[in-house]
Amino acid sequence: MLKSRKHVFWEALLITIVVFFLGLLIGIAYEGSRLDKINEYYVISETSLMDILALNDFMKLSDINCENLIQSNIEFADKIYEEARLLEKYDSSGRITEDLKLAHKKYDLMRTFLWINSINTYEKCGNDFDIIVYLYEFDTRDLTLKATQSVWSKILFDLKQKKGNEIVLIPIAVDSDLASLNSILRNFEIGEYPVVIINNEHVIEELVSVEDIENYLN
């Protein structure tokens, strides 16, 4: 009896394998479409970054208005801040493929570029704006750290809502293993993350309120 009826077990196995792998392929395509969207944003942002860098270089040659440069920096920072939030959302729901992690790293590099450029702009154009860099650990299993980072995100989001175009907010994951970022961070002698660096002077390690951060701003 077992022999005569066991074919149904194999049939079911075959159908399951086909359906399951079809599902997996759909899953890969679904996550791939998100990656395509992020890559599309990245290409546009990369162009904007190049534009800002060109503007910065051009400043060295001529007497360009600082206001334009600051505005470009802020707009670009706002743009990639929004993209970072989208990337974070996709990243937390990405299950099958690991490609988003690379996109994350590319964005961290871009944000590092922006930070360097903002430092230059800040030095040239004085204190008409504030640079707030939020350094966090992207790949952590520590629950306290996760909770702390989630609260920092909320505080900085509230601050951005309040200050709008007056601040350049740059969140960067420190565990992306970027040589440029690591070199910059060595100057600050930071013990543990997350931290917030305001105008490259004040390093805040403990959670503080929006009002407390405002005290450090220009």
Partner 1 sequence: MDVLTVIYLVYGFLALYLLTLYCLIYIQNRKRFFESPPIKKQFSLSMIVPCYNAEDVIGETIQSLLNSDYKGLKKIIVADDCSTDNTYKIAKSFERKYLRKVKVVRTLKNTGRAAGAKNFGAKFAKTDLIGFTDDDSRPKKDAISKMIGFFNNSKTGGVTSRVLVQNRDSFLGKLQSLEYKIIAFTRKILGFVDAIYVTNGPLSIYRKKAFKDVGGFSMTNWTEDIEITWHMVSKGYKINIAIPARVYTVVPSTFKGWFRQRLRWNVGGLQTILTYKKSFLRCGMLGFFILPYFVLSWSLAIFGLLILSYRVIRTIIIRYLSTKMSIEAQTTILTLRDINLAPSILFFFGVLMFILGLTYNLLALFHSKEDELEKEGSHYLLAYMFVYLTVYPIILITSIYKYIKGYNKW
Binding residues vs partner 1 (CB under 8 A): 1-2, 5, 8-9, 11-13, 15-16, 19-20, 23-24, 26-27, 30-31, 34, 85, 89-90, 92-96, 98, 143-144, 146-148, 150-151, 154-155, 157-158, 207-211
> Please, what is the minimum distance in Å from the beta carbon of residue 59 to partner 1?
36
Of residues 105 and 124, the one with the C-beta less far from partner 1 = 105
Closer to partner 1 by Cβ: residue 94 or 171: 94
Q: How many angstroms separate the CA atoms of 139 and 108, rounded?
A: 13
Strands 195-198 and 167-173, by their bridges, are unpaired
**At its nearest, how many Å lie between partner 1 and the CB of residue 210?**
7
CA distance 110 to 107: 5
In 3D, which of 121, 14, 5, 21 has the Cα closest to residue 66? 121
Q: Which residue(s) pair with 136 in the sheet?
A: 173
In the bound state with partner 1, the residue whose beta carbon lies nearer, of 31 and 83, is 31
Residue 202 beta carbon to partner 1: minimum distance, rounded to whole angstroms: 17
The smaller minimum CB distance to partner 1, of residues 51 and 82, is found at 82
State the nearest-atom distance from the C-beta of 96 to partner 1, in Å: 6
158, 210 contact by CB (below 8 A): yes
Q: Give the number of other CB atoms < 10 A from CB of residue 92.
A: 9
Q: How far apart are CA 203 and CA 188, in angstroms?
A: 8
